[in-house]
Amino acid sequence: MHIDQQFLQRAVELAGENVAAGGRPFGAILVKDGQVVAEAVNEIHLSQDPTDHAELLTIRRASQQLGARLEGCVIYASGQPCPMCLAAMHLCGVSGAVYGAANEVGERFGLSTAAVYQQLALPLDKQTLNVRHLPQPAMAEIYGDWQARHAAC
Protein backbone atom coordinates (compact mmCIF):
# COMPACT_ATOMS: atom_id res chain seq x y z
CA MET A 1 0.00 0.00 0.00
CA HIS A 2 1.30 3.46 -0.89
CA ILE A 3 2.51 5.46 2.13
CA ASP A 4 0.12 8.38 1.42
CA GLN A 5 -2.80 5.95 1.45
CA GLN A 6 -1.69 4.51 4.80
CA PHE A 7 -1.46 7.94 6.44
CA LEU A 8 -4.73 9.07 4.89
CA GLN A 9 -6.46 5.93 6.16
CA ARG A 10 -5.39 6.88 9.69
CA ALA A 11 -6.96 10.33 9.28
CA VAL A 12 -10.17 8.70 8.03
CA GLU A 13 -10.11 6.28 10.96
CA LEU A 14 -9.82 9.23 13.35
CA ALA A 15 -12.79 10.91 11.64
CA GLY A 16 -14.91 7.80 12.13
CA GLU A 17 -13.90 7.52 15.79
CA ASN A 18 -14.80 11.17 16.29
CA VAL A 19 -18.28 10.68 14.84
CA ALA A 20 -18.78 7.71 17.17
CA ALA A 21 -17.78 9.96 20.08
CA GLY A 22 -20.30 12.66 19.09
CA GLY A 23 -17.99 14.88 17.04
CA ARG A 24 -17.72 15.95 13.44
CA PRO A 25 -16.27 13.63 10.76
CA PHE A 26 -12.80 15.13 10.58
CA GLY A 27 -9.41 13.75 11.53
CA ALA A 28 -5.87 14.78 10.60
CA ILE A 29 -2.30 13.68 11.14
CA LEU A 30 0.97 15.49 10.56
CA VAL A 31 3.91 13.47 9.27
CA LYS A 32 7.59 14.35 9.02
CA ASP A 33 10.20 12.04 7.51
CA GLY A 34 7.70 9.19 7.40
CA GLN A 35 6.86 9.47 11.10
CA VAL A 36 3.56 10.64 12.62
CA VAL A 37 4.34 13.68 14.75
CA ALA A 38 0.80 14.58 15.81
CA GLU A 39 -2.80 13.66 15.19
CA ALA A 40 -6.13 15.21 16.14
CA VAL A 41 -9.84 15.27 15.48
CA ASN A 42 -12.26 18.15 15.16
CA GLU A 43 -13.06 19.17 18.76
CA ILE A 44 -15.67 21.90 18.22
CA HIS A 45 -18.27 19.74 19.97
CA LEU A 46 -16.08 19.67 23.11
CA SER A 47 -14.69 23.20 23.23
CA GLN A 48 -17.35 25.20 21.38
CA ASP A 49 -14.33 26.87 19.73
CA PRO A 50 -15.11 27.12 15.99
CA THR A 51 -11.38 27.03 15.20
CA ASP A 52 -10.80 23.62 16.78
CA HIS A 53 -10.49 21.89 13.42
CA ALA A 54 -8.49 18.68 13.20
CA GLU A 55 -5.82 20.27 10.98
CA LEU A 56 -5.30 23.27 13.29
CA LEU A 57 -5.10 21.09 16.39
CA THR A 58 -2.60 18.85 14.61
CA ILE A 59 -0.48 21.88 13.70
CA ARG A 60 -0.63 23.14 17.30
CA ARG A 61 0.45 19.78 18.69
CA ALA A 62 3.23 19.33 16.15
CA SER A 63 4.51 22.85 16.78
CA GLN A 64 4.94 22.05 20.47
CA GLN A 65 7.41 19.36 19.41
CA LEU A 66 9.02 20.84 16.29
CA GLY A 67 8.64 24.60 16.68
CA ALA A 68 6.57 27.10 14.72
CA ARG A 69 8.01 26.21 11.30
CA LEU A 70 6.84 22.91 9.89
CA GLU A 71 8.79 22.65 6.64
CA GLY A 72 9.13 19.09 5.44
CA CYS A 73 5.84 18.09 7.06
CA VAL A 74 2.72 16.78 5.34
CA ILE A 75 -0.81 16.92 6.73
CA TYR A 76 -3.20 14.11 5.92
CA ALA A 77 -6.82 15.13 6.45
CA SER A 78 -10.03 13.15 6.13
CA GLY A 79 -11.77 16.08 4.42
CA GLN A 80 -10.72 18.96 2.20
CA PRO A 81 -9.07 21.57 4.41
CA CYS A 82 -11.13 24.71 4.90
CA PRO A 83 -9.58 28.09 4.01
CA MET A 84 -8.63 28.74 7.65
CA CYS A 85 -6.74 25.46 7.91
CA LEU A 86 -5.16 25.87 4.48
CA ALA A 87 -3.98 29.38 5.44
CA ALA A 88 -2.46 28.00 8.66
CA MET A 89 -0.60 25.38 6.62
CA HIS A 90 0.86 28.13 4.43
CA LEU A 91 1.75 30.29 7.45
CA CYS A 92 3.65 27.56 9.28
CA GLY A 93 5.38 26.23 6.17
CA VAL A 94 3.80 22.78 5.90
CA SER A 95 5.16 21.29 2.69
CA GLY A 96 2.06 19.43 1.55
CA ALA A 97 -1.44 18.22 2.28
CA VAL A 98 -3.38 15.13 1.21
CA TYR A 99 -7.13 14.86 1.82
CA GLY A 100 -9.77 12.20 1.40
CA ALA A 101 -13.18 13.80 0.84
CA ALA A 102 -13.52 16.81 -1.46
CA ASN A 103 -15.96 19.64 -0.77
CA GLU A 104 -18.27 18.14 -3.40
CA VAL A 105 -18.71 15.05 -1.23
CA GLY A 106 -19.17 17.04 1.99
CA GLU A 107 -21.70 19.39 0.41
CA ARG A 108 -24.42 16.71 0.41
CA PHE A 109 -24.05 16.53 4.20
CA GLY A 110 -23.71 20.25 4.94
CA LEU A 111 -19.94 19.89 5.40
CA SER A 112 -18.54 21.92 2.49
CA THR A 113 -16.49 25.09 2.82
CA ALA A 114 -16.72 25.90 -0.90
CA ALA A 115 -18.76 29.05 -0.15
CA VAL A 116 -15.99 30.37 2.09
CA TYR A 117 -13.42 29.72 -0.64
CA GLN A 118 -15.65 31.67 -3.05
CA GLN A 119 -15.89 34.61 -0.65
CA LEU A 120 -12.14 34.74 -0.12
CA ALA A 121 -11.56 34.81 -3.87
CA LEU A 122 -13.39 38.16 -4.01
CA PRO A 123 -11.76 41.53 -3.31
CA LEU A 124 -12.25 42.56 0.33
CA ASP A 125 -14.82 45.21 -0.57
CA LYS A 126 -16.94 42.60 -2.42
CA GLN A 127 -17.06 40.01 0.39
CA THR A 128 -20.13 39.64 2.62
CA LEU A 129 -17.96 40.17 5.72
CA ASN A 130 -17.54 43.88 6.37
CA VAL A 131 -13.75 44.39 6.42
CA ARG A 132 -12.49 47.97 6.68
CA HIS A 133 -8.97 49.39 6.59
CA LEU A 134 -8.27 52.22 9.04
CA PRO A 135 -4.57 53.06 8.57
CA GLN A 136 -2.54 53.31 11.78
CA PRO A 137 0.79 55.10 11.15
CA ALA A 138 2.23 53.84 14.45
CA MET A 139 2.20 50.31 13.09
CA ALA A 140 5.14 51.00 10.75
CA GLU A 141 7.26 51.91 13.79
CA ILE A 142 6.10 48.83 15.69
CA TYR A 143 6.89 46.62 12.68
CA GLY A 144 10.33 48.25 12.45
CA ASP A 145 10.93 47.62 16.15
CA TRP A 146 9.99 43.96 15.71
CA GLN A 147 12.32 43.61 12.70
CA ALA A 148 15.22 45.23 14.55
CA ARG A 149 14.78 42.94 17.54
CA HIS A 150 14.66 39.83 15.35
CA ALA A 151 17.54 40.87 13.08
CA ALA A 152 19.82 40.92 16.12
CA CYS A 153 19.11 37.26 16.97
CB 79 within 8 A of CB 106: yes
Residue 103 lies in a domain: yes
Question: For the segment 134-146, what is each residue's pLDDT rounded down to a tens digit?
Answer: 999 999 999 999 9
Residue 42 lies in a domain: yes
Question: For the segment 49-86, what is each residue's pLDDT rounded down to a tens digit?
Answer: 999 999 999 999 999 999 999 999 999 999 999 999 99
Residue 143 lies in a domain: no
Residue 153 has a pLDDT of 62
Check which CATH number belongs to the domain holding 112 and give it: 3.40.140.10
- 55, 104, 107, 141: the catalytic one is 55
Domain count, the chain: 1
Q: How confident is the model at residue 152 (pLDDT cuts 50, 70, 90)?
A: low
Residue 48 has a pLDDT of 96
Nearest-10 Cα torsion for 105, 109, 113, 114: 60
Strand boundaries in 9-120, DSSP class E: 27-32, 35-41, 73-79, 96-101
Residue 36 lies in a domain: yes
- Cα 38 to chain center, whole Å? 13
3-state secondary structure at position 27: strand
For the cut 70, the answer to whether the pLDDT of residue 99 exceeds it is yes
Residue 22 lies in a domain: yes
For the cut 80, the answer to whether the pLDDT of residue 101 exceeds it is yes
pTM to 2 decimal places: 0.91
Residue 130 lies in a domain: no
Residue-range definition of the domain harbouring residue 118: 1-123
- Catalytic residue list contains 55: yes
Residue 72 lies in a domain: yes
Residue 153 lies in a domain: no
- Rounded to 5 degrees, φ, ψ at 100 are -90, -55
For the cut 70, the answer to whether the pLDDT of residue 1 exceeds it is no
Residue 151 has a pLDDT of 85
Nearest to 83 by CA among 28, 29, 120, 43: 120
- Rounded to 5 degrees, φ, ψ at 38 are -155, 155
Separation CA 111–CA 27 (nearest Å): 14
Q: pLDDT exceeding 70 applies to what percent of the chain? A: 98
